[in-house]
Amino acid sequence: MKTASTLGGGHTAASAATGQGGWGREWLAAWNTFWFAPADPLPLAVIRSCAGALLTWAAWVWLLDAEAFFGPEGWQRPENVWRMNDQPWQWSWYFAASSPGAVRLLAGLTLVAALALTFGIATPVTALVSLVGLVSAANRSPLNVFGFDDILGMLLVAVAVGPSGAVLSVDRLLAPDAGASRPSVRANVALRLLQVQLCVVYLFSGCGKLLGASWWEGTALWGAAANVQYRTLDLQWLAWHPLVTNALTLATLWWEVSYAALVWPRLTRRLAVAMAVPVHLGIGVAMGMMEFGLAMLVANMAFVPAAVLRRVLRPVLGSSSGTP
Amino acid sequence: MLASIGLLVYLAAVIAPPLAGPPPASALAVAALQPLRPLVGSLYLGHGYRFFAPDPGPGHSLRWSIDRADDSKLEGVIPDRSADWPRLLYHRRFMISEKIAAAVPPADAPDDVRQRSRGDWQPLVKDVAGHLLARHGGTRVTLHLVEHYLPTPEEVVRAEQGADVVTPLGTYAVVGPEGQ
């Protein structure tokens, strides 16, 4: 994948630069290699499809009670949103919707855009509309959003920035273009943004936990498992196995804290990414936050090598896809 | 060059919000966030990412009771595990009680703290009350915040269960609160 290869490439370029211009040039070369080396767009296309599917589901659920979430007499009135948001910067197209029909129309537009994004139809446009739809929903109803929306926003920014419809899309089926699946700088920028932002998420999530005694004591997971409002899987048996709770808590804590360091070296990357699967699926199954768990796993796919995805998706990609 | 500057600005907008909040946060981080607010707000980047931090606490719900014009009563709870389906819809409604709970001080907080915080949570509760009245009809609605007791492992082993903490949030008519 590009992460491994470009990190290696960056090192080589940087080493060559050292002799010519010193430390500053070395930094510049490394920066340019990190951000602007062309990358295979396949991981971004997979992320686009998954993020589109998650947003489709989210938009459908918003629509189930759209007037309550976005309407003038909703859970939070439009004129009070500033109490929880940074106005006027946190804009929303729902602020302009004064009738139930307009609210449903805008929520429906998000649903249609998300569905189109999933399949890669008119991708540059639907990616943008999907992002606008998500941001509008989140900014209009701050009383109802949670981590899932934060991560979905992060995914959609990357999808909108990069050529996410270059492969695995209806766009490509309708207009075959052998050059579209070639490595591109925009694909690399989008994936790098996602990788760096994911590291920021884990770092602050982990550091925030270091302020809590229960994470140091190894009992925090019990607090989550015993919370009846969250619980979807009965984990009360953990009460009889405190050391298991300790191990699970500490593993989660130290994995989160160290993710931003361990995910970059090739030697530890697999371990860091693999740990995301049990942690996020565990949260999804046990605490009923499957959407959040899946969104985090989709974000982790930014670190999965394109070659691995190409192998997995060979039946879908066919022989024409080739290796860029 | 321009692309690099754009990337640096975007990265600053990603990193500044979790540095600046939630508390504790430095004055420097808060100041650094100010020029980035338009970008942070418009791209929905203003997150702290403190999932289940610093410590996972008890869950909350809002218990409501509506008086109708025909003297009948209608009662409910937000979120409602039996009615709020699919789970994502439940979670979106669960966030209402959690976010209001975050603004309401504990029942044993000093009077002046409780009084000062009223300006934070009462407008939120008033909106929820207004929505409930619009949704179900009725002349007034009474709301209570319920903090569900979080048992320790030892209590579960001994089959003990503590009591939930119930905090009154007031009675609201269509035009506004009637007080607690």
The predicted complex's ipTM stands at 0.94
Q: Is the pLDDT of residue A1 over 90?
A: no
Measured between CB atoms, does B37 come within 8 Å of chain A? yes
Question: B33: nearest CA in chain A?
Answer: A86
What is residue B135's three-state secondary structure? Answer: helix
- Looking at every residue in chain A, the average pLDDT score rounds to 92
Yes or no: say if B42 and A91 are a contact pair by the CB < 8 Å rule: yes
**Hey, are the CB atoms on B47 and A150 less than 8 Å from each other?**
yes
Q: Per the omega criterion (within 30 degrees of 0), is the bond before B22 cis?
A: yes
State how far the alpha carbon of B61 is from the alpha carbons of A27, A186, B56, B147, in Å.
Answer: 52, 45, 16, 7
Residue B124 with chain A: CB contacts under 8 Å: 76, 80, 83-84, 143
pLDDT of residue A319: 54
Measured between CB atoms, does B72 come within 8 Å of chain A? no
* Position A278 confidence tier, pLDDT thresholds 50, 70, 90: very high
A16-39: per-residue pLDDT in tens? 545 567 999 999 999 999 999 999
Residue partners of B130: CB distance under 8 A and separation at least 6: A73, A77, B172, B174
Measured between CB atoms, does A217 come within 8 Å of chain B? no
B113-164: per-residue pLDDT in tens? 988 999 999 999 999 999 999 999 999 999 999 999 999 999 999 999 999 9
Residue B52 with chain A: CB contacts under 8 Å: 209, 220, 223-224
pLDDT of residue A84: 93
A132-156: per-residue pLDDT in tens? 999 999 999 999 999 999 999 999 9
Q: How many CA atoms lie within 13 A of B176 on its CB side?
A: 2
pLDDT of residue A20: 62
Yes or no: say if A203 and A257 are a contact pair by the CB < 8 Å rule: yes
Structural domain spans, chain A: 38-314
Residue partners of B140: CB distance under 8 A and separation at least 6: B66, B67, B133, B171, B172, B173, B174, B178
Q: Which positions 159-178 of B are in contact with A (Cβ < 8 Å)?
A: none
How much is the pTM? Answer: 0.93
Question: A232: nearest CA in chain B?
Answer: B87
Interface test with A, best of B5, B15, B44 (most A CBs within 10 A): B44
pLDDT of residue B108: 82
pLDDT of residue A19: 56
Q: Which positions 185-204 of A are in contact with B (Cβ < 8 Å)?
A: 189, 193, 196-197, 200-201, 204
State how far the alpha carbon of A194 is from the alpha carbons of A167, B16, B43, B95, B153, in Å.
Answer: 19, 16, 14, 26, 39
A160-214: per-residue pLDDT in tens? 999 999 999 999 999 988 788 899 999 999 999 999 999 999 999 999 999 999 9
Instruction: Enumerate the β-bridge partners of residue B78.
Output: B62
Residue B39 to residue B32: CA distance in whole angstroms = 13
- Written as one string, the DSSP assignment of A46-58 is HHHHHHHHHHHHH
* Position A54 confidence tier, pLDDT thresholds 50, 70, 90: very high
Residue B46 with chain A: CB contacts under 8 Å: 86, 90
